[in-house]
């Protein structure tokens, strides 16, 4: 047997929570209202181009990217704009959102909705980058970094490998896994488009071993395309984190404070690669994505849904349960890194890979007790940090020590807090530490 | 009402209490072996020790720190078991309670409770008793397999004592066979005699991923290599390597005491240094010291080095050169 690749420092094994792994992607349908935030990416909010009362179609540009690190926002439905206002989003921050009342389902005429797969790429790198930019694509693994920047190589950098991240090591989530099974060829073409934009020949699609169906389909289809290969990784968390993925596949480690491009790699999520395919080959802006709706208790109609951006979470939750009052916690994202939502009506964004429902019992975090120095956090940290030491430096206000402990290297995967038998919220301490170190600089 | 919290929203199944519970399970074979060889007295010592440790911790939390009691994390039970396992079955019960006081109050609670102590509490208790009551702490009865009431207990020398005499003037009782030493049919403390029972517990702890094999392995092997070299060079019958490995507190110490989370280093390399230090010190004390036994002192001395080791041996930061 071939030894499957993985990173060498730390990591944890999550129990199998992939309840929805075998469920095909289905269309979620249209809600009555969608709430489209003008900031669904890191960087500045997009500049709003529309006003209350305007009629829009699916794919109409609503807001224009404000600078390089920003992204266009498109309408995900057809209908009338009824409100533009600050509304509380999932993380409890007020965000400017464009509220659209859904009427019919009319698309912008230039969007190609046919199922034909187009594999020819007749565009120049500049044309590709412009198409990606005008489609509002951002990193869909959750980072939200505007994609045009990541398919352009900046002056003086050399890239030799494109990694397409199909790891999805997060607990519960299966959206990327399903996408690889159902849209494999489109993802491969998406990878080739990125390669063309970057001017390189080598793309590797990384999949972890718990997705045999995706591995089989991808391995078969990549044979048709020169320069695209599949690499199977161990199922380990956080294998899908950018730095850990690069380390597993190329053996290169991104030095502290550096970017993947500094070791000659660019990483894009499979969802992003698919969105790039649709943008470039089908003129389709990013107005929908695949969202896993999951949870241990909510038994009915869990699954992987194709959801229009801006759909309220409650619209999906209503499909799974008649008793939303029994839900203890709603998490946007997966169990390890997801954000627990303050209200059920918060809209799904370009970055929402899943809606995880926990019951009342699982929703409660156990209280923090004393550290017993078991060193499990140290063994689990994929960055070689000592989370217990970061926590005690925070508790004693020793901010100089935080810097010596390389707190800035933390990737916020949460492995330390997951494994801690004393249930110390180590990730919270690490995040606080990062803020403190930043303040000092 | 929706609950909100920061990520991660999942926890590994092992909690402090379940870790302690698993350690207690791992200690059960040793407890059973102790009772089988030393009878009802052994059970009495164990019960006294566990009750004493739990009671002292509870009382300390209740009346001294006046904080929520930490008793229910079961760590005091583990300390109580380990302390009893380091005592002879014939020890007067009030001395056991003195040991409990030393272990729980003076070496754990006054440092700030679980996780804060520098020295292994059970070993502090044992060493205190050993120095204060040398006669009671070194009176050994002959093991009487399954004779629970042990009416006519005979005293017997431990294998280590025999080995010490062998090195000194060569006149001593005959050593028990390796098999007897392995199963535990020898004189000694309640929980240290049966290497077999201890190893069963060790395998269980490894299987449950409570401890890693490093400290135990490096402790035993560094000691074994040194004593073997000594034996090969001096040809002294008192340095019989297998007898040394199977007797005294070495197995109990290497499996259950040196691996204590709180008082051992945290990084993998630090653990190896710590374990080798324990092995070297055990060898030096057993061969060159006045005491036949050196495990307790070796571990306690290395406990004192843990903060230094933790400072020197840190994990490799991702993206930096291997050191």
Contacts of B4 in chain A (CB under 8 A): 92, 329, 340-342
Contacts of B320 in chain A (CB under 8 A): 253, 255-256, 384
Residue with tokens 């000659």: A264
Contacts of B115 in chain A (CB under 8 A): 370-373, 422
d(CA B71, CA B48): 16
**Per DSSP, what are the bridge partners of residue A160?**
none
Question: Of A16, A346, A369, A432, which to mutate for an interface test with B (greatest number of B Cβ within 10 Å)?
Answer: A369
Contacts of A422 in chain B (CB under 8 A): 15-16, 115
Q: How far is C-alpha B134 from the chain's CA centre? A: 19
pTM of the full predicted structure?
A: 0.92
Tell if the CB–CB gap between A372 and B16 is shorter than 8 Å.
yes
Residue with tokens 């249930």: A423
Query: Within a 10 A sphere around the Cβ of A321, how many other Cβ atoms?
Result: 18
**How far is A286 from chain B, CA to nearest CA, in Å?**
27
CA dihedral sign of residues A163, A168, A170, A175 = positive
The two structure tokens encoding residue A129: 């980058």
Residue A399 · residue A440 · CB < 8 Å: yes
What average pLDDT does the segment B303-321 reach?
93
Interface of B with A (CB under 8 A): 2-12, 14-16, 18-19, 70, 73, 75, 113-116, 261-262, 264, 266-268, 314-320
Residue with tokens 């041996």: B313
Tell if the CB–CB gap between B262 and A372 is shorter than 8 Å.
yes
- Which pLDDT value is given to residue B144? 76
**How far is A248 from chain B, CA to nearest CA, in Å?**
12
Q: How far is CA B150 from CA B45, B89, B155, B181, B193, in A?
A: 14, 11, 12, 20, 17
Instruction: Report the chain B residue with the minimal C-alpha distance to residue A385.
Output: B317
- List b or e across B244-259, with b for residues whose CB sees 16 or more CB atoms inside 10 angstroms: bbbbbbbbbbbbbbbb
Contacts of B10 in chain A (CB under 8 A): 14, 171, 335-336, 418
Instruction: Report the chain B residue with the minimal C-alpha distance to residue A171.
Output: B10
**How far is B14 from chain A, CA to nearest CA, in Å?**
6
Cβ neighbourhood burial of B298 (10 Å; 0-12, 13-18, 19+): buried
Contacts of A258 in chain B (CB under 8 A): 319
- Three-state SS letters, B37-62: HHHHHHHHHHHHHHHHHHHHHHHHHH
From the list A14, A366, A386, which residue is nearest B314 (CB)?
A386
Contacts of B9 in chain A (CB under 8 A): 329, 331, 335-336, 338, 340, 356, 358, 362, 365
Residues 6+ apart with CB under 8 A from B279: B218, B219, B220, B221, B222, B223, B224, B226, B298
Q: Locate all alpha helices (DSSP H) within B101-172, ordered by sequence.
A: 121-132, 134-137, 159-168
- Which pLDDT value is given to residue B160? 85
DSSP conformational letter for B73? G
Q: How far is CA A374 from CA A91, A236, A420, B212, in A?
A: 33, 21, 9, 11
- Which pLDDT value is given to residue B322? 61
B221: nearest Cα among B193, B197, B245: B245
d(CA A141, CA B2): 26
pLDDT at B157 over 80: no
Tell if the CB–CB gap between B318 and A9 is shorter than 8 Å.
yes
Instruction: Report the chain A residue with the minimal C-alpha distance to residue B117.
Output: A372
d(CA B184, CA B272): 28
Question: Of B72, B275, B318, B320, which to mutate for an interface test with A (greatest number of A Cβ within 10 Å)?
Answer: B318
Cβ neighbourhood burial of B289 (10 Å; 0-12, 13-18, 19+): middle
Residue A232 · residue A248 · CB < 8 Å: no
A170: nearest Cα among A412, A386, A390: A412
d(CA B85, CA B188): 10
d(CA B122, CA B254): 14
d(CA A369, CA A366): 9
**How far is A370 from chain B, CA to nearest CA, in Å?**
7
Question: Of B3, B5, B7, which to mutate for an interface test with A (greatest number of A Cβ within 10 Å)?
Answer: B7
Tell if the CB–CB gap between B10 and A171 is shorter than 8 Å.
yes
**Comparing B281 with B164, which gets the higher pLDDT?**
B281
- Provide the pLDDT confidence category of residue B187 given band limits of 50, 70 and 90: confident
d(CA B81, CA B73): 15
Instruction: Report the chain A residue with the minimal C-alpha distance to residue B114.
Output: A372
From the list A255, A369, A372, which residue is nearest B320 (CB)?
A255
DSSP conformational letter for A46? P
- Which pLDDT value is given to residue A270? 95
Q: How far is C-alpha B319 from the chain's CA centre? A: 39
Q: How far is C-alpha A48 from the chain's CA centre? A: 24
**How far is B237 from chain A, CA to nearest CA, in Å?**
40
pLDDT at B124 over 80: yes
- Which pLDDT value is given to residue A360? 83
DSSP conformational letter for A408? G
Q: How far is C-alpha A177 from the chain's CA centre? A: 13
**How far is B261 from chain A, CA to nearest CA, in Å?**
5
From the list B2, B12, B75, which residue is nearest A327 (CB)?
B2
Q: How many CA atoms lie within 13 A of A84 on its CB side?
A: 13
CA dihedral sign of residues B66, B70, B71, B72 = positive
Cβ neighbourhood burial of B63 (10 Å; 0-12, 13-18, 19+): exposed
Contacts of A421 in chain B (CB under 8 A): 12, 14-16, 18-19
**Per DSSP, what are the bridge partners of residue A207?**
A166, A232
User: Could you give the percent of chain B with pLDDT greater than 70?
Assistant: 95
Per-10-residue mean pLDDT for chain A, 441 residues long?
78 86 92 94 91 93 90 95 92 92 92 91 93 93 86 87 94 94 95 94 93 94 91 92 94 92 94 96 95 80 92 90 83 92 91 91 88 95 95 92 94 95 96 92 78
- Which pLDDT value is given to residue A59? 93
- Provide the pLDDT confidence category of residue B323 given band limits of 50, 70 and 90: very low
- Which pLDDT value is given to residue A379? 95
Tell if the CB–CB gap between A381 and B8 is shorter than 8 Å.
no
From the list B2, B11, B115, which residue is nearest A371 (CB)?
B115
From the list A247, A335, A360, which residue is nearest B10 (CB)?
A335
d(CA B32, CA A391): 41
Residue B30 · residue B201 · CB < 8 Å: yes
Residues 6+ apart with CB under 8 A from A132: A147, A148, A151, A197, A276, A279, A280
**How far is B157 from chain A, CA to nearest CA, in Å?**
38
Residue-wise pLDDT tens digits, B253-307? 999 999 999 999 999 999 999 999 999 999 999 999 888 888 999 999 999 999 9
Tell if the CB–CB gap between A243 and B318 is shorter than 8 Å.
yes
From the list A255, A342, A417, which residue is nearest B319 (CB)?
A255
The two structure tokens encoding residue B156: 């017997």
Residue-wise pLDDT tens digits, B212-243? 999 999 999 999 999 999 999 998 888 899 99
- Which pLDDT value is given to residue B69? 78
End-to-end CA distance of chain A: 49
Q: How far is CA A126 from CA A110, A148, A189, A341, A432, in A?
A: 20, 10, 17, 39, 41
Q: How far is CA A254 from CA A144, A250, A257, A335, A402, in A?
A: 20, 11, 8, 26, 21
pLDDT at B205 over 70: yes
pLDDT at B190 over 80: yes
Question: Of A327, A382, A384, A385, which to mutate for an interface test with B (greatest number of B Cβ within 10 Å)?
Answer: A384
């Amino acid at each position: 047997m071939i030894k499957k690749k993985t990173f060498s420092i730390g990591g944890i094994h999550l129990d199998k929570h992939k309840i929805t792994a075998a469920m095909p992607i289905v269309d979620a349908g249209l809600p009555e209202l969608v709430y489209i935030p003008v900031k669904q990416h890191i960087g500045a909010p997009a500049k709003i181009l529309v006003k209350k009362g305007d009629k829009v179609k699916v794919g109409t540009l609503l807001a224009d990217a404000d600078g390089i690190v920003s992204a266009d926002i498109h309408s995900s439905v057809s209908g009338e704009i009824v409100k533009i206002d600050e509304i509380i989003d999932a993380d409890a921050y007020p965000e400017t959102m464009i509220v659209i009342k859904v009427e019919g389902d009319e698309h912008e005429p230039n969007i190609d909705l046919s199922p034909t797969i187009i594999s020819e790429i007749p565009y120049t790198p500049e044309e590709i980058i412009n198409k990606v930019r005008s489609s509002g694509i951002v990193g869909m693994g959750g980072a939200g970094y505007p994609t045009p920047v990541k398919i352009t190589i900046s002056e003086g950098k050399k890239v030799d490998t494109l990694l397409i991240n199909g790891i999805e090591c997060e607990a519960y989530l299966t959206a990327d896994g399903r996408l690889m099974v159902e849209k494999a060829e489109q993802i491969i073409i998406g990878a080739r488009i990125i390669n063309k934009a970057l001017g390189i020949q080598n793309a590797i699609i990384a999949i972890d071993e718990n997705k045999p169906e995706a591995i089989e389909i991808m391995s078969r289809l990549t044979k048709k395309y020169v320069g695209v290969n599949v690499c199977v990784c161990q199922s380990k968390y956080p294998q899908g984190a950018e730095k850990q993925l690069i380390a597993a596949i190329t053996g290169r480690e991104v030095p502290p404070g550096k970017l993947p491009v500094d070791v000659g790699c660019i990483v894009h999520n499979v969802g992003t690669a698919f969105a790039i395919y649709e943008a470039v080959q089908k003129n389709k802006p990013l107005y929908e994505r695949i969202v896993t709706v999951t949870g241990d208790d909510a038994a009915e109609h869990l699954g992987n849904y194709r959801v229009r951006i801006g759909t309220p979470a409650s619209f999906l939750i209503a499909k799974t349960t008649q008793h939303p009052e029994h839900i203890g916690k709603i998490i946007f994202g997966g169990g390890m890194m997801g954000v627990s939502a303050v209200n059920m009506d918060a809209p799904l964004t370009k970055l929402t890979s899943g809606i995880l429902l926990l019951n009342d019992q699982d929703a409660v975090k156990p209280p923090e007790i004393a550290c017993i120095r078991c060193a499990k956090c140290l063994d689990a940290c994929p960055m070689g940090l000592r989370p217990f030491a970061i926590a005690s430096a925070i508790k004693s206000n020793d901010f100089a020590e935080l810097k010596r402990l390389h707190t800035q290297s933390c990737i916020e995967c949460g492995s330390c807090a997951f494994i801690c038998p004393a249930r110390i919220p180590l990730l919270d301490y690490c995040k606080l530490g990062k803020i403190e170190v930043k303040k000092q600089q | 009402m929706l609950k909100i919290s920061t990520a991660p929203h999942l926890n590994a199944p092992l909690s402090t209490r379940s870790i302690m519970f698993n350690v207690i399970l791992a200690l059960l074979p040793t407890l059973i072996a102790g009772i089988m060889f030393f009878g009802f007295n052994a059970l009495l010592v164990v019960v006294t020790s566990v009750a004493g440790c739990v009671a002292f911790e509870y009382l300390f939390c209740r009346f001294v720190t006046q904080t929520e009691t930490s008793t229910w994390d079961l760590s005091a039970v583990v300390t109580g078991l380990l302390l009893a396992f380091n005592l002879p079955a014939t020890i007067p019960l009030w001395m056991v309670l003195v040991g409990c006081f030393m272990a729980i109050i003076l070496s754990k609670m006054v440092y700030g409770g679980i996780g804060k102590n520098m020295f292994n509490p059970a070993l502090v208790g044992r060493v205190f008793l050993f120095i204060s009551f040398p006669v009671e702490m070194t009176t050994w009865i002959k093991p009487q397999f399954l004779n629970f009431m042990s009416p006519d207990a005979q005293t017997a020398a431990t294998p280590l004592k025999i080995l010490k005499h062998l090195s000194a003037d060569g006149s001593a009782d005959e050593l028990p066979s390796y098999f007897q030493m392995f199963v535990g049919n020898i004189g000694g403390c309640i929980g240290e005699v049966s290497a077999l029972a201890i190893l069963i517990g060790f395998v269980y702890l490894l299987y449950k991923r409570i401890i890693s094999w490093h400290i135990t392995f490096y402790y035993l092997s560094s000691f074994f290599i040194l004593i073997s070299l000594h034996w090969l060079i001096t040809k002294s019958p008192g340095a019989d390597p297998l007898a040394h490995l199977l007797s005294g507190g070495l197995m109990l110490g290497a499996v259950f005491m040196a691996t204590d989370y709180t008082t051992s280093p945290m990084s993998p390399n630090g653990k190896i240094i710590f374990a080798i230090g324990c092995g070297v010190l055990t060898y030096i004390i057993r061969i060159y010291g006045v005491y036949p036994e050196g495990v307790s002192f070796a571990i306690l001395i290395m406990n004192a080095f843990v903060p230094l080791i933790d400072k020197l041996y840190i994990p490799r930061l991702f993206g930096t050169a291997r050191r």
